[in-house]
Structure 1
């Protein structure tokens, strides 16, 4: 659970919250602001993620939900 936080300053190379293959996550009542890149990225097979009652403002990009149809959960090294 990520709750009741002021979260700012995402840069072109750094997302505020980035999830890879995460399960059962709740992002709730946060204040995301003053960022140049994504505030929340949910990708690579992450599931059961709830993003509720957050405030996004003064931000360039907000949410990335998935990023490639062929890119599922991360697995061990090849």
Structure 2
């Protein structure tokens, strides 16, 4: 609101400038917090993904080793039969 009184207008202008700066700082702070939370969530997802990849690799290695042992046993048996 514009006041007819120049002193009141200056006070209101200072007041509005203060609140604009204040809300701008608050907005920046929330933006930074949101960014940090996003980064932490991505790191968490990445850790989970890395763990699941490691788990899958271990399982695959475990089963391929078992399969290789079975193949070796079968091959050994077939050689003995021949």
Is TM-score (shorter-chain normalized) higher than 0.5? Answer: no
TM-score normalised by length of structure 1: 0.15
Larger relative strand fraction = 1
TM-score normalised by length of structure 2: 0.15
Larger relative helix fraction = 2
Larger Rg: 2
The structure with higher relative contact order (CA 8 Å, sep 6+) is 1
